[in-house]
Structure 1
Amino acid sequence: MTKTDYPPLHMVLDHGRLVSSSAYEQERLDSYPNGTPFTVKITSERGGRTMRRWWLVLGLAVRQCQTPWKTAEQASQAIKLATGYVKVKKSPTGEMVEYPKSLSELDEPELERAFEAMVSVLSRITGVDVLTLTKEASADEAKGP
C-alpha cells in the first residue's frame, strides 16, 4: 500500500496552524521527511454529528420500515422537498422549479431545525417512533465502523 492509498488526513485548526487530530494522523505525517511540500485541499465537516445522526436514522428507516424509497439518498431528497428545504431555479422553459437543498449548506442551528422537521416527516411516513430509531442510530454510531 502506498501513501496515496491511505484515507485523507483529518486536521484541526489550532491558532492558525493545522495540527493532527489523532495519533494516527500524527504518525502519518511523521512518515514524511521534514520539508516535504504538500498541496492541501481544505474542506470542513459542517454539521458533523447532526449529519451523521440523520444518515444513520434514515438508513435504519429505509432498511427496517415500510417506505416508498429504496435508498436513504432517495428518502433524503424527498423529505427535504416535503419539509421545504429547497432551492428554487428557473428552468430553460421559464418555469420555476424546486430542488432539494444540500444539508451541508445549512449552519448548525438550521441543520438541527431541519433534522427535527425531517424526522417528524419520516415518523409520519413510516408510522414508527423515530426517537426509537434515533436511539438505535446513536448506539450504532457509538460502536463505530
Structure 2
Amino acid sequence: MKDDIPPLRMTVEAGKLTPADAFSAERLESYRHGTTMFVQPITDPQSKKRRKFWAILGLVIRNCNTPWRTVKDAANAIKRTFGLMDDGGTTGNVRIMYPRSLNDLSEPEFEEFYEDAMLLLQRITGVDPETLAKESPGSDAPLLQPDEGSGDRKPSTASDAAAAPDLKAEAIDKFLRLATDKHLTPPEKRSALATVEGDWLHELPDKAAFVKACSETTARVIEGELKAQAAKRYLSALASKPEENGDEAGES
C-alpha cells in the first residue's frame, strides 16, 4: 500500500536544502544527525488542498476529542467510512480490506472526498475544521504524531509494562467515546469500531484479548444492550487484573 503521508518539502538554498514547512522540519529532526539520505528532486506532487487535508487532520488530532490517536488512524477511519478500501483477499474465511492511498484519487475524486471528510470531522468533533485551520495560521502540513513518518508502532515489550495500565485506560476511553458520540449514527459507529479495534491491537499486540473485550463491550453499548457507565466499570476492572490474568475477558 502506498504511503499517504506527504513527502518532505525542501527549499533549495546555496548548496543545501532546508525544510519548507514545520512538518518537514520535524520529520527531518527524527533522523540521526549525519545520516546519509538519497534524494530524488521532483516538483511538489501534492495539490494545496491535499496538503491542507493532512494539516487539518493534524490540527483535529491535537485540538479536538476524537476516537483516533494519530493522523494516520484518522485518515484510515475516514477512508473506511467512505468505502475507499482495497480488497486484500481472505484469511481464514475472513475478508481483509486495506485503506486505499489518497494518491490514487484523481483531483475531482479527491475534491469530493475532501468535502465529505470535512463534514464528517465536523460531525465527530462539533468543530468546523476549516475554521480551525484558519485560526491556526502557518500550518501547511500536520506535525508528526509519534508514529507518523517512521513506520509502524513499536511492539510492546517487557520494558513497556509500566505504561500498560495507562494505555489500557486510554483504550477504554477511546472505545467508549466512540460508542457515546452523539454526532455519529449507529452504522457509522459500527464501521469506525473495526478501525479503532485494529489500531489498539497494533498498540497493544500482547493484550489482544483485552482489546477484543473492549470492542465487544463497545458494540453492546452501541446496540443499546449496555450502559456506558456499566461498560466502563467492567472494562476498568478487567484492565486492573494482574498481568497473568489481564487478558482473560469474562462476561459483563
Which TM-score applies when normalising by structure 1? 0.63
Match of 2:190 in 1: none
1:60 is displaced (CA, Å) by: 0.8
The runs of at least 4 consecutive aligned structure 1 residues that moved more than 6 Å come to none
Unmatched segments (≥5 aa) in structure 2: 1-7, 17-37, 144-252
Q: Percent identity of the aligned residues?
A: 34
Cα root mean square deviation, aligned: 2.9
Contact 2:59 2:132 in 1 (8 A): yes
Q: Deviations over 1:55-102 (max 9, x none)?
A: 111111111111011111111111111122211221233543222111
1:108 is displaced (CA, Å) by: 1.9
* 2:12 counterpart of 1:28: no
Structure 2 counterparts to residues 37-116 of structure 1, below 5 A: 41=40, 45-116=44-115
Match of 2:3 in 1: none
Total equivalences in the alignment: 113
Match of 1:121 in 2: 120
Aligned residue for 1:132, secondary structure, equals helix
Unmatched segments (≥5 aa) in structure 1: 1-7, 11-21, 30-38
1:133 is displaced (CA, Å) by: 1.8
AA matched with 1:141: S
Alpha-carbon spacing, 1:67–1:106, altered in 2? closer, same or farther (3 Å): same
**Mapped partners of 2:60, 2:75: distance in 1:** 11
Contact 1:47 1:108 in 2 (8 A): no
**Mapped partners of 1:47, 1:63: distance in 2:** 23
Alpha-carbon spacing, 1:47–1:60, altered in 2? closer, same or farther (3 Å): same
Aligned residue for 1:128, secondary structure, equals coil
**Mapped partners of 1:23, 1:82: distance in 2:** 39
1:50 is displaced (CA, Å) by: 1.8
Alpha-carbon spacing, 1:63–1:93, altered in 2? closer, same or farther (3 Å): same
AA matched with 2:139: E
Which TM-score applies when normalising by structure 2? 0.38
